[in-house]
Amino acid sequence: MTLTGKHILIIGGTSGFGLAVARQAVLQKADVTIVGRHVDRVNQAVEQLQNMFTQVRGLTLDATKPADLAQLFDQPERFDHVVSMLGGAMGGGFLDNSLADIRTAVEAKFFDNLRVAQTASKHLNPGGSMIFTSGSGGSPATASGAIIGNHDINLMVEGLAVELAPDYRVNAVSPTWTPTGLWRDMSAEDKQAQETAFAQGVPLQRVSKPEEVASGYLYLMDNAFITGQVLRIDGGVDLG
């Protein structure tokens, strides 16, 4: 790996995939800045990540808000890699969800990340990259807003890769359902039921581990000849 001394910004780095990416980056002796909306989670994450070989900083702000995002990048320092975990999940099809709910899901997945891209691209070191989070699995009939958002992310990555070449790279990681902090409001019983049901429909017959998904982000940081790609780490969820 070539991440020693690199400065990596992780938006949504206090739990789940983001925290796993931060942990692996720190082990590679990268300097890491994590961003989260809840001060207690930010502080806990920073405490977990601290070691003698690297610098870890935590910032509490809401990157979905233009003013907070401007504050995040209102500084002279630049980043080698910017990772965004922005976006949520959405169940239900096109007919059983309101326009407002579908619009909210698409805004959270696509437009919030596009705003990050437009801002962060001006604060990258030469040869730097941006990595976004897409998603695999589900169907238009059961995940309308999420499906739209994921396809939008994939298209955005392709377009940005061309616009920012050859100076910068843009990619995405596409995981599928994984028991992370995104589901912290779900009961333990419901989460276990979801995990069991999901595993039955995946060729590998299990859910992913956050560390397995996180390794994809580091791979995309390290390999300087990959751009415009969506790396699917999803256990073959769409093959059945």
pLDDT above 70 for 170: yes
Indicate the number of domains in the chain. 1
HEC secondary structure over the chain: CCCCCCEEEEECCCCHHHHHHHHHHHHCCCEEEEEECCHHHHHHHHHHHCCCCCCEEEEECCCCCHHHHHHHCCCCCCEEEEEECCCCCCCECCCCCCHHHHHHHHHHHHHHHHHHHHHHHHHEEEEEEEEEECCCCCCCCCEHHHHHHHHHHHHHHHHHHHHHCCCCEEEEEEECCCCCHHHCCCCHHHHHHHHHHHHHCCCCCCCCCHHHHHHHHHHHHHCCCCCCCEEEECCCCCCC
Give the model confidence (pLDDT) of 37-70 as tens digits. 999 999 999 999 987 678 999 999 999 999 999 9
In a domain, 32, yes or no: yes
What predicted TM-score, i.e. pTM, was given to this entire model? Answer: 0.93
In a domain, 196, yes or no: yes
Give the model confidence (pLDDT) of 99-130 as tens digits. 999 999 999 999 999 999 999 999 999 999 99
Supply the CATH number for residue 202's domain: 3.40.50.720
In a domain, 216, yes or no: yes
- Domain extent at residue 168: 7-233
